Amino acid sequence: MKTFLKSHLEQALAKAGMSFLPEDIYFEIPKNQDHGDLSTNVAFTLAKRAKANPRAVAQQILDLLSIPEELVEKPEIAGPGFINFKFKPAYFISEVGALLKTGSTYGRHEVGKGQRVMVEFVSANPTGPLTIGHGRQAVLGDTIANLMEWLGYEVVREYYFNNAGRQMRVLGDSVRLRYLEEFGEKIEFPQDYYQGEYIRDIAREMIKEHGDSLRGSDDVIPFKDKAEAVIFEDIKNSCRRLGINHDVYYNENSLYENGHVDESLALLREKGVTYDKDGAVWFKTTDFGNEQDKVLVKSTGEPTYRLPDIAYHIQKFKRGFDKVVDIFGSDHIATYPDVLLALKILGYDPAMITVLIHQFVTVTQAGEIVKMSTRKANFITLDWLTDEAGADVVRFFFLMRSMGAHLNFDLDLAKKETDENPVFYLQYAHARIASIVRKAEDAAELKYSDSVDLSPLGNADELDLIRLLLQFPETVLLTATHYEPHRLIVYLNEVATQFHKFYHSNYVIGVGKELGNARLALCVATKTVLKNGFDILGISAPERM
């Protein structure tokens, strides 16, 4: 609806010789439906710029506005200069027909056509199973990637990891010590080593492969390599269970091997924004408004997270991406601004990078916080949660709150198979429509067709449902451009609620062939919007429940 009106308004403004920006034409849905379907304050914006009377500008626009009378009632000027529009049933009916013919691609856009976007998410080092925090990030990242694809972008899903350094040596030694314990040796296991049964499992696999041949060796490399392979496969399987597959696994260690880290530091030195002090290399961020300078290389010679991240993002630019989306946990909130600052200093456009920060997750059951997994380690694993609640529920619950808000995952609610469970409520609406279609076609007198005559539609319930369905393309666009997947969930809930209201008072079977087929088509249109929304969210659309 907004796209339709915007194109006609642009033509009227051009005829009037009024200069305008694309964002000047903005529509809202009036709170009072008597004021129409859409309202714009474009006259205010243009009048303020020209120091003119808003009502006079609004009238000038209307005098030159040409909209088919059979689709839209005569626009009205309201208050000090709002322009209200009310669509006629013929418009809604024609748009439902277009929706039905578009089908599974309804809601897709081409704003990103010809552009490549990289979405980096999860990026956990292979030292242990994915936690629920990683899980929230995984689902958010994959859904945002889906949204970018619905905008027409070519999307690359990337996983960034480090399989070198102290943490990996500790991982290897953790497995080595558990390996020795399996042979009855008494080991004093360090508290800062990796805990959890998964370390013992890897040690037992080492015994199957090598027997006791490694007992006399202090070399952690075989243990590290085995642990990395097992854990990474476990991580990939955890993601696959949720329908998540990365296209690229980018190894941080390659940045050192290829000299990119040293090169990045040299470039920053050339710009005069680093200095040496106490054996460390510092980034002069105070020159750019920060309260204190930041360490890039420790006195031990080991870089902090900032330096390889700077090198990594330079490579993202060099790989030819038009847009980069980074999804991080809240532990990155203090470091990523320094990375963006360094990129700007080095001549890269930080506006091409969008950094999204998600908050923590807690799981509750019977009103109590679930503190740990009994199987893997002293944290809740993503696999455990998927086992308990199922993939659809895990994805949905991770998405239904703003990523900037702490998420409480209510396990009791997640396991309910009633309409109290928000996932069940939406999926039931889809399954119910599938059942209606089956029953209607079994009744012989009715059969769905995307070219059916929809003119019998027009009562209030039908039009209210159609209005909502036609908001789907814009909802996808806004959800994607604001990186807020929960917006789509709010919208789909409104669709399901409106459909139930329609269906309870508008029979499909037994009302005659013409009206029955038209209502059947409206049911299919609703099912299409729900299914397309589910595809973006990455949840299934059941035909039966």
Chain segment 361-379, per-residue pLDDT in tens? 999 999 999 876 544 566 8
Q: How confident is the model at residue 2 (pLDDT cuts 50, 70, 90)?
A: confident
Question: Rounded to two decimals, what is the model's pTM?
Answer: 0.92
Whether the predicted pLDDT of 1 surpasses 80? no
Residue-wise pLDDT tens digits, 205-215: 999 999 999 99
> Sign of dihedral through CA atoms 489, 494, 500, 506?
negative
Burial 117-144 (b: 16+ CB within 10 A, else e): bbbbbbbbbbbbbbbbbbbbbbbbbbbb
Whether the predicted pLDDT of 26 surpasses 90? no
Alpha carbons within 13 A on the beta-carbon side of 305:
12
Q: Tokens at residue 138, please?
A: 């995984």
What are 275's strand-pairing partners?
282
Domain 421-537 is found in CATH 1.10.730.10: yes
| CATH architecture observed for domain 2-87 | 2-Layer Sandwich (3.30)
- Strands across the sheet with 407-410, in order? 368-369, 361-365, 407-410
Instruction: Decide if 228 contacts 207 (C-beta within 8 A).
Output: no
Instruction: Return the DSSP state at 75.
Output: P
Which span out of 30-44, 68-82, 136-150 was modeled with the highest average pLDDT? 136-150
pLDDT at 377: 63
Q: Report how far residue 318's alpha carbon sits from residue 322's, in angstroms, rounded to the nearest whole number.
A: 10
pLDDT at 20: 84
* Cα 276 from chain centroid (whole Å): 41
> Sign of dihedral through CA atoms 149, 151, 156, 157?
negative
Determine the average pLDDT of the residues in 390-404. Answer: 97
Q: Residues of the chain with pLDDT > 90: what percent?
A: 81
Q: How confident is the model at residue 462 (pLDDT cuts 50, 70, 90)?
A: very high
pLDDT at 307: 97
Q: How many CB atoms lie within 10 A of CB 464?
A: 15
Determine the average pLDDT of the residues in 454-480. Answer: 96
E-state strands within 107-256: 116-120, 154-161, 248-251
Give the three-class secondary structure for 111. coil
Residue-wise pLDDT tens digits, 410-461: 999 999 999 999 999 999 999 999 999 999 888 777 888 888 999 999 999 9
Q: Name residue, tokens 């940045």.
A: 255
Whether the predicted pLDDT of 175 surpasses 70? yes
CA-based Rg of the chain, rounded to a whole angstrom? Answer: 29
pLDDT at 376: 52
Whether the predicted pLDDT of 159 surpasses 90? yes
pLDDT at 373: 54
Residue 201's contacts (CB-CB under 8 Å, 6 or more residues apart) are 230
What are 327's strand-pairing partners?
356
Q: Report how far residue 502's alpha carbon sits from residue 182's, in angstroms, rounded to the nearest whole number.
A: 65
pLDDT at 172: 97
End-to-end CA distance of the chain: 34
Q: Report how far residue 211's alpha carbon sits from residue 197's, in angstroms, rounded to the nearest whole number.
A: 20
pLDDT at 374: 44
Q: Report how far residue 540's alpha carbon sits from residue 428's, in angstroms, rounded to the nearest whole number.
A: 11
Domain boundaries, the chain: 2-87, 166-241, 421-537
Residue-wise pLDDT tens digits, 76-115: 998 888 999 999 999 999 999 999 999 999 999 999 999 9
pLDDT at 372: 64
> Sign of dihedral through CA atoms 113, 116, 117, 123?
positive
Determine the average pLDDT of the residues in 278-296. Answer: 96
pLDDT at 22: 81
Residue-wise pLDDT tens digits, 235-285: 999 999 999 999 999 999 999 999 999 999 999 999 999 999 999 999 999
* Mean per-residue pLDDT of the chain: 94
What are 131's strand-pairing partners?
381
Residue-wise pLDDT tens digits, 320-331: 999 999 999 998
